[in-house]
Amino acid sequence: MAGSNTDVNIAIDQPGVFNEPDYYDALAALRRESPVFECLPNTWLITKYDHIRAVSRDTENFSSARGVLVNDSARRPGASPPTGSILHMDPPEHADYRRIVSRDFTPRATGPMEAQIQSIASRVFDGLPRGDEIDFVEHVASPVPVTVIAELLGVTDADLADFRKWSDAMIEVSDNPSPEVVSLVIEFAKFLEQEIAARTAMPRDDMISLLTQSTLTLQEIQMFCITLLVAGNETTRHLLSGGAEALAARPDQRAHLVANPAAMPGAVEELLRWVTPIQAMGRTATSDVAVGAETLKPGDFAVLMYASGNRDEDAYGPTASELDVMRPTSPANVTFGFGEHNCLGAPLARMEGRIVFEQLLRRFPDYELVGEPVMAISTLVRGANEMKVVLK
């Protein structure tokens, strides 16, 4: 990770960069030495907590309309701006869209889903063999959020396996637009088109039906469902696997949660901060704008390094790089973003995390990690594709 303007750099456009052994050390060095750092031409890493929040809420000088991912196809020369996705909307369009889709994602709205998610998690854990080695991602971390999203959308159990496959393809396509991956993306879009048409003709008690009765276009409904699956699955999945890995490596903190289950909501906040499943997203500067000691020009891309902001010593003190499930929950982490684009599904992800970790520690308090996880190769997420554990 050698660079020219400082002693470190992060190859933010290279899939797998988040798995580099010195990644978090490099982030810490950038926070100290060059918190707003031009890692590539016209591409800046924003590594401080306060700067990330400032850029996130500055919709006058920063836009999401030209793409929010480092390798987003919309950022390539000559590309047309993406349309239909809430991720790529700026005010006032973003506020209008969010108003339509947000009512099912407030803490009050997600509260009644507690029993449903408890049931999903129970079914998952009931089928697991005590004392045997399993892949935690395949058997726990993936099926819980995929099933929750599928039930929200009114999709049958028969499509659950495809949902995980489609979600992985949607994450991979910006880094690896291979024919196989693109084919899966197209397959998912066609599936959604059929589901939307069916709900338009005969509405049911599910989110797709609700959206068909709104002012959203077919493309906007499709894009929302895609965003819901990808964000809802990937964030929660990597929280669950990363959190389970972290607690396995810290038996004292795990024992505290086993003995004090009421501490789990705060522990989930700490795991969200420490794991940071979505490592970074970006904004494009629309005018000359100062961030820290640097001035970004129109067209410059600001990469909001959530994983770095969540470990910023100025926000979380000298132990910011350590996991502490008893840490105070203030200041709020930036795991779900901040400002206009703060993740709609955050209350749902928190609930899923709390329920799964409560059940895991109640049923299998002495589970053990086996070997090293197989990590995802991505420029968006950091988490395991495979993680072996023995349940005990």
Report d(CA 211, CA 348) in Å as an integer.
19
Identify the pLDDT of residue 2: 37
User: 59-63, 192-196, 257-261: lowest mean pLDDT where?
Assistant: 192-196
What do you get for the CA distance between the two ends of the chain, in Å? 40
CATH topology of domain 17-390: Cytochrome p450 (1.10.630)
What are 37's strand-pairing partners? 45
CB of 241 closer than 8 Å to CB of 144: no
The b/e string for 292-331 (b: 16+ C-beta within 10 A; e otherwise) is: bebebeeebbbbbbbbbbbbbeebbeeebeebebebeeee
96 or 286, which is more confident? 286
Report d(CA 368, CA 132) in Å as an integer.
11
Q: Where are the domains of the chain?
A: 17-390
Placement of tokens 């609930």 in the chain: 351
CB of 238 closer than 8 Å to CB of 323: no
Provide the sign of the torsion angle of the four alpha carbons 194, 198, 204, 210, taken in this order. positive
Amino acid at 113: M
Average pLDDT of the residues of the chain:
91
User: 175-179, 249-253, 358-362: lowest mean pLDDT where?
Assistant: 175-179
DSSP string for residues in 210-241: HHHTSS--HHHHHHHHHHHHHHHHHHHHHHHH
Taking only the tens place, the pLDDT of each residue in 365-384 is 999 999 999 999 999 999 99
Q: Is residue 292 left, alpha or beta, with left meaning phi > 0 and alpha meaning psi from -120 to 50?
A: left
Mean pLDDT to the nearest integer, 105-116: 81
Does this model's pTM top 0.85? yes
User: 2-16, 162-176, 214-228, 273-287: lowest mean pLDDT where?
Assistant: 2-16
CA nearest 50: which of 37, 23, 31, 34?
31
Identify the pLDDT of residue 81: 60
Residue 158 in tokens: 């028969």
Taking only the tens place, the pLDDT of each residue in 272-307 is 999 999 999 999 999 999 999 999 999 999 999 999
* Non-local CB neighbours of 224 within 8 Å, separated by 6+ positions: 85, 86, 101, 211, 216
Identify the pLDDT of residue 105: 76
Identify the pLDDT of residue 106: 74
Report d(CA 38, CA 44) in Å as an integer.
4
In this structure, how many other beta carbons lie within 10 angstroms of the beta carbon of residue 286? 19
CB of 280 closer than 8 Å to CB of 30: no
Quick one: how many helices (H) and strands (E) in the chain? Answer: 16, 10
Placement of tokens 């959308």 in the chain: 153
Identify the pLDDT of residue 4: 42
User: 159-173, 330-344, 346-360: lowest mean pLDDT where?
Assistant: 159-173
Angle of CA points 34, 296, 306, to nearest 5°: 55
